[in-house]
A and B are shown apart, each in its own frame.
Chain A
């Protein structure tokens, strides 16, 4: 699968999906005008990729979001569910939740999302 790189805008995050190295990241703000249009193709590609992974693969996903709206939150939840399912199929999955150290809400959201990640590794990464 071709790697995907999309520059950030005021309302959409930088997307870096490297299917070759299995390193993925979303970085920046996320409140697109139209969430399905922006994230739909990305979710399709990512979902297809993780389903094809061998048990011995390892994958890393970095969330480094400064802000995401409630519609984007559903996308984050879907990604985390896919990552947990990938880990339960035998791949080694690391999720890094990067947030500004003084951002109470982003920390709380990380803790909330991380609670349900049992098999993948979920790291809280405050940035100063």
Chain B
């Protein structure tokens, strides 16, 4: 297959799924700023509703910052810091009248049960319960069962127009791949 064929195949694969933006690679706060501005610009050009633009941008920021802070694939192999490069993939796309933001990154297998439990709780809550949980976490009064639930995940779920989707696939004895999708 020629170089152009290979690239076009990747492009078509993404295009067929409605993807408008896709990034895969090491992520930094600078990349977040750049892509964030481009998403706002593109959505505004498409005359998307102002609330949809804000929702997509917000979910994009939370997902990018999750990857930057928590991806298990990073350089240097060190605790989360500003200067690290964290590997992940992120896409923004369109599904009919809705926009979606989806991301994926490696996580440690030991962290899977905790993430699974938190996200399952968040996935099942309705809008008012998410609002309540959001406030409790901000006040440091998160109820048992949602212990340590990331305020970022709650924020993503609040902005989504339907329950968030997520899952995991085991990669080897140490790592799993985590993926999350929110439709705005």
Contacts and interface: CB of A to CB of B under 8 A. Distances in A.
Interface string A98-128: 0010111100100010001000000000000
A69 B156 CA distance: 10
A67 B29 contact: no
B146 interface: no
A18 B30 CA distance: 32
A73 B140 CA distance: 12
B54 A103 contact: yes
Q: Which among A67, A70, A74 has the highest number of chain B CB atoms within 10 Å?
A: A70
A11 B36 CA distance: 11
A10 interface: yes
Nearest to A104: B51
Given A10-B37, A69-B62, A77 B50 contact: no
A31 B158 CA distance: 18
Contacts, number: 53
Nearest to B159: A105
Interface size class of A (residues with CB under 8 A): 20 to 34
Nearest to A37: B82
Contacts of B162: none
B114 interface: no
Contact of A105 (B55, B82, B152): B55
A70 B152 contact: yes
A112 B155 CA distance: 13
B135 A112 contact: yes
B14 interface: no
Interface of B: 29, 33, 37, 50-51, 54-55, 57-58, 61-62, 65, 82, 131, 134-135, 138-139, 150-152, 154-155, 158-159
5 contacts: A70-B154, A105-B51, A105-B58, A108-B131, A112-B134
